[in-house]
A and B are shown apart, each in its own frame.
Chain A
Amino acid sequence: MKPKRKRLFIVLIGLLFVSAAVGFSLFALDQELDVFRSPSEIAEKGFPSGKRFRVGGLVEDGSVSSEGIVTTFRVTDGAHALTITYDKILPDLFREGQGIIALGALNAGGTFEAQEVLAKHDENYMPPEVADALKKSGHFKPEGGDS
C-alpha cells in the first residue's frame, strides 16, 4: 500500500472509531441531555417531590391566573398538563400558547413550584403585519408545534 493510501486509511478508521465512541456516549446519555422534561414524562414516571428539575411545555389557553404576586398556570404537551406556581416576574414572551421552561420542584400536592421561568420562542421570524395577515387568513401556525 502506498503511504498516502495508508494514511488516508488510518485517518478514516480513526474518525470512524471516534465518531462511534461519541455516538454511543450520546445515545447512552439520551434524555439526560434534555434540558427539560415534558408533563407526560412526569405523569408517567412520577418524580419525587422536592427534587429540582426543569419542566417545559406550552402555557395552556385560559389557565393563567394571578393572586397577588403568585401566578398560577398550566403547561401542557398535548397529552398531559401540569400546574405551576411562580412568584417572580415572568419574562416578556410569557403568554398563553407560548413555550416555556420552568425550573423548580413538585410539592407534596403535586403542584410544581417554580423558582425560574424561561420563555422559548419558535424558529419563525416575520414582521407584525405579516403575522396579522396570516392570522386573518387562518394560515398562522401558532407557537410550539413540535418545538
Chain B
Amino acid sequence: MHRFANPTRFLRLAAAVLPFSAAVAALCLGAGLVWGLFFAPPDYQQGDTVRIMFIHVPAAMMAMGVYAGMAISSAIALIWRHAIADLIAKASAPIGATFCFICLLTGSLWGKPMWGTWWVWDARLTSMLIMLFIYLGYMALWQAFDDQTKAARAAAILALVGAINLPVIKFSVEWWNTLHQPASLITMDGPKIHSSLLWPLLLMIVGFGAYYLTVLIFRVRAEVHQRRTRMLRMAQADRHAAMQAAE
C-alpha cells in the first residue's frame, strides 16, 4: 500500500490502467444500453418501465460503492497519513454524488408511473437522500479550510461518520416497512431477476464501475499536479523572500 504513497509511482500505475478502464467503460456502457433498452424483454408487471432499472440500479450501487471506497481511503489517510488516499477520497466525492443524484432522479421518474408518486419519505428513499447531503457536505468541508492538511482531516472524519449510513441504506427495506421493494440483486438466495434482464444489468454495472475508475484517474492526476504546482509556487515565494532579505 505504501508503495503507492509515492505520487510518481501512483501516476505510472494510473497511466497503465487508464486505457483498459476507458475501453471497458465504453464497451460495457454501449453494449449494456443497447441490450437493455432495445433487446431485453419487458417485465411481466411493469412492462417497458423496467428499463429504468438499467440506469437506476448501477447508479445506486456505485453511489454506495464509491462512498465505501471514500470512507476506506479516508481511514487509511487518517491513520497511516497516506498521501494518495486523501486525494482518492477527495476526487471520488463529486463522482459518487453524481451517481447518488442520478439514482434519486431515475428512482423518482420510476416511482411516478409504478407506485403513483414521485417521492415518499420511506426509510430507503430518505437514507439515500441523506447520503447525497453527506456527499455535498464532504465536498463543502474540503473548501472550508485554507490549510489542505486540516481540510483533509476534517473531511475524512465526516466521511467515516457518514459511512454508518451505508448499512442503514442497504437494510432499510428489511428493517422497516417501506414503499421501496426489498433487494433484487444482492440477496441471500441470489438475484431475483430473470437472466434475460440480469445480463444487460450486470454489463451496465461493470460499465459504471469502469467509468468511475476512468474519471477517478483523471481527477486524482489533476489533484497531484495541483498539489505539486502549489508546492513549487510556495518554494519559489520562499526563495524570492530569501533573496530580497539578502539584498
Interface residues of A (CB under 8 A from B): 4, 7-8, 11, 14-15, 18-19, 22, 26, 31, 33-38, 56, 91-93, 101, 116-132, 147
A-B contact pairs, 18 of them (CB 8 A): A15-B163, A18-B161, A18-B164, A22-B164, A35-B178, A35-B179, A36-B177, A92-B114, A93-B46, A119-B115, A120-B179, A121-B115, A123-B184, A127-B44, A127-B194, A127-B196, A130-B196, A147-B181
CA distance A52 to B53 in the complex (A): 33
Are the C-beta atoms of B117 and A22 separated by less than 8 Å?
no
Shortest CB-to-CB span from A80 to chain B, Å, is 15
The answer, among A18, A33, A118, A128, for a CB contact under 8 Å with B176, is: A33
The answer, among B117, B121, B163, B177, for a CB contact under 8 Å with A56, is: B177
Interface residues of B in 152-199 (CB under 8 A from A): 157, 160-161, 163-164, 168, 175-179, 181-184, 187, 192-194, 196-197
Are the C-beta atoms of A7 and B78 separated by less than 8 Å?
yes
Shortest CB-to-CB span from A78 to chain B, Å, is 15
CA distance A116 to B118 in the complex (A): 13
CA distance A117 to B45 in the complex (A): 18
B122 contacts the other chain (Cβ, under 8 Å)? yes
The answer, among B44, B115, B175, for a CB contact under 8 Å with A130, is: B44
Main secondary structure of the interface of A (DSSP, over half): mixed
Are the C-beta atoms of A117 and B44 separated by less than 8 Å?
no
Are the C-beta atoms of A127 and B113 separated by less than 8 Å?
no
Further 9 A-B residue pairs, CB within 8 A, beyond A7-B78, A127-B42: A11-B78, A18-B161, A22-B164, A35-B122, A35-B177, A92-B114, A125-B46, A130-B194, A131-B44
Given A22-B168, A126-B44, A127-B41, is A15 in contact with B177 using a C-beta cutoff of 8 Å?
Answer: no
Shortest CB-to-CB span from A38 to chain B, Å, is 8
Task: Note all chain B residues with C-beta closer than 8 A to A126.
Answer: 43-44, 193-194, 196-197
Shortest CB-to-CB span from B86 to chain A, Å, is 14
B50 contacts the other chain (Cβ, under 8 Å)? yes
CA distance A69 to B168 in the complex (A): 41
CA distance A75 to B53 in the complex (A): 28
Shortest CB-to-CB span from B176 to chain A, Å, is 5
B216 contacts the other chain (Cβ, under 8 Å)? no
Task: Note all chain A residues with C-beta closer than 8 A to B163.
Answer: 15
Select from chain B the residue with minimum beta-carbon distance to A128. Answer: B44
Task: Note all chain A residues with C-beta closer than 8 A to B168.
Answer: 22, 26
CA distance A125 to B113 in the complex (A): 17
Select from chain A the residue with minimum beta-carbon distance to B74. Answer: A11
Select from chain B the residue with minimum beta-carbon distance to A140. Answer: B44
Are the C-beta atoms of A124 and B164 separated by less than 8 Å?
no
Task: Note all chain B residues with C-beta closer than 8 A to A91.
Answer: 114-116
Task: Note all chain B residues with C-beta closer than 8 A to A14.
Answer: 157, 160
